[in-house]
Amino acid sequence: MSLNIGVVMDPIAQIKPWKDTTLAMLLEAQRRGWTLHYMEPADLYVRDGRVFAVTSDLTVRDDNQDWFTLGDPAPRDLTGMDMILMRQDPPFDAAYLYATYLLEKVEREGVLVANRPASVRDSNEKLFATDFPQCCVPTLVSGRAALLREFVKEQGDTVMKPLDAMGGTNVFRIEPGSSNLSVIIDVLTEDGKTPIMAQRFVPEIKQGDKRILMINGEPVPYALARIPKEGEFRGNLAAGGTGEGRELTDRDRWICEQVGPTLKRKGLYFVGLDVIGDYLTEINVTSPTCVRELDQIFGINIAGQLFDALLELK
């Protein structure tokens, strides 16, 4: 079966092919004989109520030096796609918001978009985790300095982070008595105008921040534990962490059972849960990663599992 697969992503020339999850998906789609159509968010447009994009036919290779070839760009009616992968990285800004609106219009015409644009738009990756308080450490979301200071006083060692960043950007650890508390709050909240997230610090971060991948509400049975480098508390690979494969624990599976039905109902077909110790900290819905690392460690094909699940939905 030959399918037309669109991918909305950041510039493909700028990815790190040896670790890029989107490339893993594209390689699998190409292995299946599907035709790939590449576009960036700015290529989407509406003409007389129909959604088009300036797309390029795409060929990919598993080669860290030469991983893609693009054809000549040309306008294409996106309702002619069989499936569109929405794989744009945060930040979730106005351009990202508009892309979800346009892709939602395509979805209404019967095209499968993964993940569902409206659900991506409505599921902030930090706030979404608070829908499952039974899985989380004590958490506060606020822009009020007094509430944030009181939370630190109650919880002691605390992590603060913005709601719209990724890769460990602007994540701060606040220890009791820190003289920098007020300035960190002022900077992160933009002097009280923007809410941020504060969570009790989980010391088990030393054993890794586990990324658990969910496919249509069901977990891949392995996680990638991202272990902080020496002198660092952030496990993100972008912050210098190293990845180690782990089988899911009973607690991991329990968290997946709590979250999975909601993901399936929302059409969040491919999601990354972040778990530290026994606690859920984030739910990544925009462009979850770690497929290539887990495939290599365990000899599996996560992109293949994802496409099999998506084909059952068509």
In whole angstroms, how far apart are CA 267 and each of 78, 105, 119, 198, 263? 19, 15, 7, 28, 6
Q: Name the strand (E) or helix (H) holding 242.
A: strand 242-247
Q: Which residues are catalytic?
A: 126, 161, 211, 226, 234, 274, 282, 284
Helix (H, G, I), strand (E, B) or coil at 301: coil
Q: Does residue 284 have a cis bond before it (omega within 30 degrees)?
A: no
Decide: 140 and 152 in contact? Cβ < 8 Å: no
Tokens of 51: 């959604």
Residue 125's nearest CA partner among 99, 164, 97 is 164
Partners of 200 in the β-ladder: 158
C-alpha closest to that of 288 among 265, 312, 272 = 272
Q: Which two tokens stand for residue 29?
A: 């789609």
